Chain A
Amino acid sequence: MREVVDPAVIAKAVAGHRTSFDMIFLAYYEHIREMAYRRVGRKDWAEDIAHNVYIKLGKTIWAFRKEAAFSTWLYKVVVSVTTDYVRKVVHFPVPEPEPEGGPDGEETIYQIQLRELLKRLTPQEFEAVILVYWEGHTHAEAAVLMGCAEGTVSKYLFEARARLRGLLEAQKTE
């Protein structure tokens, strides 16, 4: 997620200007929905999460301080809303996942396998992989977003690779 909205617009939205807030919505909605999709892998959930993110933004944008970059702040909101959503959703009977391979699902079998494998990672490793390899952040950017040192991000990625390698080898031997 890059800074796509002029800081002045954000300042106005923080001050309560409705049109500016609407501009933020228009600028970031797709980013947020895609972020959510990468983390939960379902289109309908991603839409729900984006919806919840914006309700939360509407309620709390006045609390945004300029010390942090807006995108960083927004990322934290997205992650926390996603976590909340997934946590709630697993308590309810989860409907059948969307058929992948319809008009929306053009993932190759390899990609589907990869996503299944990603679910075996720890949350931090998963987040680091998504940020660096899927969303294209540098290690330094990912470190800022995750609130840890750059070396820690590298460590998560290294561990993720090691873990997946082990899983693949175990599958082969089976």
Chain B
Amino acid sequence: MTDFDFSRLKDVPIPPGRPEARTRAREAALSAFDEAGADFVRCTVCGTRAGANTRVCVECGQALSVSAGNPAATKKIAVASRFDGRIKLPPRSHTTWRLRPITAIAASISLVVIGGLFVLFVQRLEPPLEHAMRQTSTSPEVALRAGSGDRAQVAESEQPMPSQRAAEARSEEHSLPLTSLPIKSKVTPGASAPRPPKEGQVVNAFLSGLRYRDSRVSERDLVSSVDLAAVVDRARSSETGPPQINFNPVKIATREPVSTFSIAVDRTGYANVRRELEAGRLPPRDTVRISDMINNFLYAYPEPANPFAPIRTTVTVLPSPWSPANKLIHIAIKGYQLGRPEQVRQAPHGDLSARVAPIADNVKVVIEFNPARIADYRLIGDRAGSGGGGSNIGQAGEPFEAGRTITAIYEVTPTVREFVTGLRELSLEPASSLPRTKEEEYAYLRTQFTLPGDRTILSVELPITRELEKSSVEQASNDVRFSVAVAAFGQRLRSEPDVNTCGYDAVMALANGAKGEDPFGYRADFLKLVQSAKSVRP
């Protein structure tokens, strides 16, 4: 055999690979890449992983906060960012557990002997030992509660509130497995004395464990998809808009992925607008409080499906009626009396909260947007500081009553990547073949609360996915469409530029089609207001 023979190897054809194998490999590679990257220090701006000795982010040029030449600081940051809620087991050592047969037999024999001796010993000492054990089982709990230094709280916790007792009784009755409940306890029992949540405390804990932290969408990525300049302009112009108007600014999701909103409602907001319009004037722009207007109406949102959750969140994603490129994320939260199904009381304005005892305290709503899907977002509303950052929620949260509903609407700009994926899902691949991962979520909604008389923080969580999306406004429920109409009307009264394309007629058409039963005529009343606003328009 000669060189010539070997050289004919070059002519051996290599069969082409299958595209599906390639796609699978690509997905596996990227997810391995993501998993491996979860443990690293990241750039705070774009999320790119910092190399071992880099001081400047390779992607965006941002100086990294790791102090140079201070390995302790580096380590600390690395550890802080490493916590992502997953429990990592140390790698199993193969040598430690490999017992030689003789050693194993000897060990098991000695265990049996020692165990037998111990049983004999316990049987002889049974009464005093049992007593001692009973004592130790109660004493740490008492010490724990006394340690919190709040005697009123101790008294409360020893006498559980009726709703709590009812919940306990039901849990015994149904004996449902606790893991099947979508309520998650956020406080690990016994780890430390439970403290009442302070302002911002819960949200800060949340911020440290961002759900989409690993998606690592940099703003450079956005340039190729959404026009970043337009996004930034939109954010900037809304931040530096006319000073007398304090509507919520547009936030860029890569920079501020987390938003919260207040559940406090002041019903005078709608009354003011109504009085002005009935007097034949347009209300001054600053007095128009859109979130108060939206929440002034009664909505028949679905009842909680879970008997242990006093709160149910219902989310609808729908196209924005006033800007076709955007979407609205409509968030509805309904309170519900634990124990018996709540009869929705069609009470007049404002009376609802006065009569019903709170079913949940310290309610906080936190929404985290997925930067891979959402380029920017804006909470439609006007209460200064009710959206945006995390520290502004009411002191120790807000109480929440049965039958009460809270509605908030976000207007979001999807990324083009999301748009392209949507096309792909629509046309080429059946939707069922795509596993739902967190990459495909628009956002993640977390409603945190405590039960009255209990300080354990619970949360009702809901990933906002494409499944919740309606392809047109008409497909949304009456309540959703009506609240969107109210939001459009409020923005119109405030002369916000976003709704220029949505005139009073469009608002009326939307609201009229969504009146529903309207037993007290509130919605008809709203339509009259729109009509009068149209007539007084200069």
Interface residues of A (CB under 8 A from B): 11-12, 14-19, 21-22, 25, 29-30, 33-34, 37-38, 43, 46-47, 50-51, 54-62, 104-107, 110-111, 114-115, 129-130, 133-134, 136, 161, 164-165, 168
Q: Provide the bound-state CA to CA distance between A126 and B1, in Å.
A: 15
**Contact bitstring B6-29, A, C-beta under 8 A = 1, else 0:** 111111111111100110111011
Chain B nearest CB, measured from A122 CB (Å): 16
Whether a CB of chain A sits under 8 angstroms from the CB of B423 is: no
Q: Which chain A residues lie closer than 8 Å to B12 at the CB level?
A: 107, 111, 115, 134
A-side interface mostly:
helix
Determine if A54 and B51 form an interchain contact, defined as CB atoms under 8 angstroms apart.
no
Question: Which of A22, A34, A57 sits near B14, CB closer than 8 Å?
Answer: A34
Determine if B37 and A47 form an interchain contact, defined as CB atoms under 8 angstroms apart.
no
Question: Which of A15, A37, A56 sits near B50, CB closer than 8 Å?
Answer: A15
Q: Provide the bound-state CA to CA distance between A38 and B32, in Å.
A: 26
Chain A nearest CB, measured from B297 CB (Å): 44
Determine if A16 and B42 form an interchain contact, defined as CB atoms under 8 angstroms apart.
yes
Question: Which of A19, A29, A107 sits near B25, CB closer than 8 Å?
Answer: A29
Determine if B7 and A59 form an interchain contact, defined as CB atoms under 8 angstroms apart.
no
Whether a CB of chain A sits under 8 angstroms from the CB of B286 is: no
Task: Decide yes or no: A134 and B25 within 8 Å by CB, A11-B58, A168-B1 being known contacts.
Answer: no
Determine if A54 and B58 form an interchain contact, defined as CB atoms under 8 angstroms apart.
no
Nearest residue (CB) in B for A117 is B1
Determine if A134 and B10 form an interchain contact, defined as CB atoms under 8 angstroms apart.
yes
Nearest residue (CB) in A for B47 is A16
Chain A nearest CB, measured from B495 CB (Å): 41
Task: Decide yes or no: A22 and B216 within 8 Å by CB, A12-B59, A51-B21, A104-B15 being known contacts.
Answer: no
Determine if B51 and A15 form an interchain contact, defined as CB atoms under 8 angstroms apart.
yes
Nearest residue (CB) in A for B13 is A106
Q: Which chain A residues lie closer than 8 Å to B36 at the CB level?
A: 58-62
Task: Decide yes or no: A62 and B40 within 8 Å by CB, A15-B51, A54-B26 being known contacts.
Answer: yes
Q: Which chain A residues lie closer than 8 Å to B37 at the CB level?
A: 16, 62
Q: Provide the bound-state CA to CA distance between A110 and B17, in Å.
A: 24
Q: Which chain B residues lie closer than 8 Å to A33 at the CB level?
A: 17
Whether a CB of chain A sits under 8 angstroms from the CB of B117 is: no
Task: Decide yes or no: A43 and B1 within 8 Å by CB, A17-B48, A58-B31, A58-B33 being known contacts.
Answer: no
